[in-house]
């Protein structure tokens, strides 16, 4: 029957985007306590996604492979009427209206109204009479259909991952008529075939289309889940986005909760003190992400263990760092440090001595880190020398924004406290000019340079994961005590799903 071709209807899984939910998994008595990431998609986003899926439905119909359909019926006194439909293809598909409704604490209800499609192929029919009279013919046929479709997508959990159940599905046929080539007004025999075939197609279409909806819903749920898992992974560092609690399906939004545990080699992340509660998020924007402070601290630990918090500066970058505009005393201090060696023959290395401590506050993200910095020179014909080594505790407040497909980080204020200070130009450590120069240089140039490098690296990472494919409108990154909220409106990159379906169909 039709199932052999896997007819794929795209719209019935799209609303699972960014939603991971559970109805069957076991959770503790306080599931929010282990929630590190929350995603809330409001009804305007669901409506937008539903509207954008018309092309996906059309692509699925165009690529559907329909099997042959056969049937027969015995007629009293006349014998047996048999028929077969082959080479079935779909043309001229159109969708008049698609609606989505969130049924509170139940399911996502999707209604597709007036789906019209023209099916074309070849009809072979025959009449075997009781007097051994046999008639068999082959003609091209055209089936015009008009269908309403309704489905309720329930969201369940399998192995802490999302599973979609779209088996609650109904098709209503307003029109299903068959025309034979060269005869738009069939005689009584052809009219008899039309009635038989129409009846058979209604049964077959209802069964197979609904089966495909269910199939595609789960397929797209897996696709979105894999997409999200890939987005929060970079080499050996990744985030566990398995479900942390039962979802909320309300009349105005869908909300899913995830563990958000950082995984890195033998690093073990534990989290059981989340402060999340649904009222922390509103419904005025299309999409919300709630992220716990714990995630940022764990990511900082993993990045430190992976030796990513190391920065090497040389050449023109090093020159720009030390030759900032300043007083004559500051320029003299820089010359004393490098002892006349060219910046091209020098290198500065900056690294974290321990993993940074991150605190989310209303004024921004507070980063506190114990950092070491070392400057080495390579004089011609001489052994390399370390002319400066220092350890300092740096506290900086950073505010983040996202615009023009780039992450933007601004340092609001910083505090620097030297812990260790060794400089060949100031062996006694009593020359305040060098230390003051370095403190000014770190504050005005060094910290912005490090933040700029991080900004570029994170933007590149997010773009490599495909974030730049989305049209994000008016994003806001809001920090509060212990958590951050990212809220935005967006336009959905429909071609991602089209490409996905083209590969799967």
Write out the chain's pLDDT in tens, 505 residues: 333 333 333 333 434 444 444 345 777 667 788 899 999 999 888 888 777 666 666 666 666 667 788 877 776 665 677 778 888 887 777 887 788 888 888 888 888 888 888 888 888 877 665 544 455 678 888 888 888 888 888 877 777 777 778 888 888 888 888 787 766 555 665 666 677 777 777 777 777 777 777 777 777 778 777 888 888 888 999 999 888 887 788 889 988 899 999 999 888 888 878 899 899 999 999 999 999 999 999 999 999 999 999 989 888 888 877 877 666 777 788 788 888 788 888 898 999 999 999 999 999 999 999 999 999 988 877 888 898 898 999 999 999 999 988 999 998 888 999 899 888 887 776 677 788 888 888 887 888 888 988 999 999 988 888 888 888 899 999 999 999 999 999 886 666 666 665 665 5
- DSSP code of 181? T
Question: First-to-last CA distance in the chain?
Answer: 17
96, with CB counted inside 10 A (0-12, 13-18, 19+), is exposed
CA 3/CA 150 separation, integer angstroms: 19
Q: DSSP string spanning 204-264?
A: HHHHHHHHHHHHHHHHHHHHHHHHHHHHTEETTEEEE--B-S--EE-SSEEEEEE--EEEE
Cβ pair 276, 32 in contact under 8 A: yes
Cβ pair 371, 419 in contact under 8 A: no
Residue 503 backbone phi and psi in degrees, to 5:
-75, -30
CA 290/CA 484 separation, integer angstroms: 6
Fold held by 230-494: Bactericidal permeability-increasing protein; domain 2 (3.15.20)
Q: DSSP string spanning 117-154?
A: EEEEEEEEEEEE-TTS-EEEEEEEEEEEEEEEEEEEEE
In 10 A of CB 15, how many CB atoms? 25
CA 217/CA 153 separation, integer angstroms: 8
- Which residue spans of the chain are classified as CATH 3.15.20.10? 230-494
Cβ pair 285, 489 in contact under 8 A: yes
What are the C-alpha distances in Å from 295 to residues 17, 37, 410, 504?
A: 22, 9, 21, 35
What are the C-alpha distances in Å from 285 to residues 145, 278, 485?
A: 39, 15, 12
Tokens standing for 161?
A: 């991952």
User: What angle, 0 to 180 degrees and rounded to 10, lies between the N-to-C axes of helices 494-504 and 188-231?
Assistant: 110
- SS3 state at 427: coil
Predicted TM-score of the model (pTM): 0.80
Question: If one looks up domain 43-225 in CATH, what number appears?
Answer: 3.15.10.10
- Which residue spans of the chain are classified as CATH 3.15.10.10? 43-225
3-state secondary structure 310-333: EEEEEHHHHHHHHCCCCCHHHHHH
CA 225/CA 12 separation, integer angstroms: 16
Residue 368 backbone phi and psi in degrees, to 5:
-120, 125
CA 24/CA 26 separation, integer angstroms: 7
């Amino acid at each position: 029957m039709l199932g052999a071709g896997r007819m794929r209807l795209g719209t019935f899984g799209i609303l699972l985007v960014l939603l991971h939910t559970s109805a069957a998994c076991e959770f503790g008595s306080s599931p929010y306590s282990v929630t590190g990431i929350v995603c809330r998609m409001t009804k305007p986003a669901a409506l937008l996604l539903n509207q954008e899926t018309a092309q996906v439905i059309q692509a699925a119909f165009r690529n559907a492979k329909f099997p042959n359909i056969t049937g027969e019926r015995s007629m009293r006194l006349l014998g047996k009427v048999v028929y077969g439909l082959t080479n079935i293809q779909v043309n001229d598909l159109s969708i008049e209206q698609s609606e989505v409704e969130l049924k509170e604490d139940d399911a996502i209800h999707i209604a597709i109204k007036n789906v019209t499609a023209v099916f074309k192929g070849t009809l072979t029919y025959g009449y075997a009479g009781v007097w051994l009279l046999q008639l068999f013919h082959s003609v091209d046929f055209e089936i015009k259909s008009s269908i309403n479709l309704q489905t309720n997508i329930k969201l369940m959990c399998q192995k802490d991952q999302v599973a979609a159940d779209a088996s609650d599905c109904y098709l209503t046929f307003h029109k299903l008529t068959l025309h034979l080539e060269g005869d738009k007004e069939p005689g009584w025999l052809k009219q008899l075939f039309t009635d038989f075939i129409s009846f058979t197609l209604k049964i077959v279409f209802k069964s197979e289309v609904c089966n495909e909806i269910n199939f595609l819903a789960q397929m797209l749920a897996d696709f979105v889940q894999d997409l999200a898992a890939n987005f929060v992974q970079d080499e050996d560092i990744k985030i566990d986005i398995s479900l942390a609690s039962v979802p909320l399906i309300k009349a105005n939004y869908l909300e899913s909760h995830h563990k958000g545990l950082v995984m890195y080699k033998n690093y073990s992340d534990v989290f059981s003190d989340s402060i999340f509660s649904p009222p922390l998020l509103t419904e005025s924007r299309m999409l919300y992400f709630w992220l716990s402070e714990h995630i940022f601290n764990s990511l900082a630990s993993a990045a430190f263990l992976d030796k990513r918090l190391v920065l090497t500066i040389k050449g023109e970058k090093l020159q720009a760092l030390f030759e900032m505009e300043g007083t004559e005393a500051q320029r003299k201090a820089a010359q004393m440090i490098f002892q006349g060696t060219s910046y091209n023959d020098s290198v500065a290395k900056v690294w974290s001595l321990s993993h940074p401590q991150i605190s989310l506050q209303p004024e921004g993200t507070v980063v506190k880190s114990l950092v070491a910095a070392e400057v080495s020179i390579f004089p011609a014909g001489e052994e390399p020398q370390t002319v400066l080594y220092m350890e300092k505790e740096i506290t900086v407040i950073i505010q983040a924004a996202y615009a023009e497909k780039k992450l933007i980080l601004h340092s609001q204020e910083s505090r620097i406290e030297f812990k260790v200070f060794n400089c060949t130009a100031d062996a006694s450590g009593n020359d305040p000019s060098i230390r003051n120069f370095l403190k000014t240089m770190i504050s005005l140039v060094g910290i912005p340079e490090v933040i700029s490098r991080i900004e570029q690296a994170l933007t590149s990472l997010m773009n490599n994961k495909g974030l730049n494919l989305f049209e994000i409108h008016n994003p806001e990154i809001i920090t509060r005590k212990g958590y951050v909220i990212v809220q935005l409106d967006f336009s959905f990159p429909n071609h991602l799903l089209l490409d996905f379906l083209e590969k799967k169909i």
